[in-house]
């Protein structure tokens, strides 16, 4: 687990919190003594109702156009 000092937290708080937001857990130290732990909060999953609503708003996919796009990007002989 990475450590950050109170001074680093004070002077670069935004950067430290960005690291935590990316998933790091950090131990905060004061005079070399561990005093706190910063860790990301668990992400809440979307409800089933919300997922269904989001699905209803997705654009329709044309399978032939999708295949053509993929063939342009990837060698179709693979």
Quick check: is 45 in a domain? no
**pLDDT band, residue 9 (cuts 50/70/90):** very high
* This model's pTM is above 0.75: no
Quick check: is 63 in a domain? no
Q: 3-state class of 9 per DSSP?
A: helix
Quick check: is 51 in a domain? no
Backbone angles phi, psi at 76, to 5 degrees: -65, -15
Count of the separate structural domains present in the chain:
1
Residue 75 has a pLDDT of 81
pLDDT per position as a tens digit, 10-66: 999 999 999 999 999 999 999 999 999 999 999 888 899 999 998 999 999 999 999
Quick check: is 19 in a domain? yes
3-state secondary structure 12-78: CHHHHHHHHHCCCCEEEEECCEEEEEECCCCCCCCCHHHHHHHHHCCCCCCHHHHHHHHHHHCCCCC
CA distance 29 to 39: 14
Quick check: is 29 in a domain? yes
């Amino acid at each position: 687990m990475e450590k950050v000092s109170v001074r680093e937290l004070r002077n670069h708080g935004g950067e430290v919190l960005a690291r935590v937001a990316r998933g790091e857990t950090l131990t905060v130290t004061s005079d070399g003594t561990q005093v706190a732990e910063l860790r990301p909060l668990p992400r809440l999953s979307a409800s089933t109702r919300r997922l269904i609503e989001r699905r209803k708003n997705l654009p329709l996919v044309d399978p032939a156009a999708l295949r053509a796009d993929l063939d342009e990007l990837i060698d179709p002989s693979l």
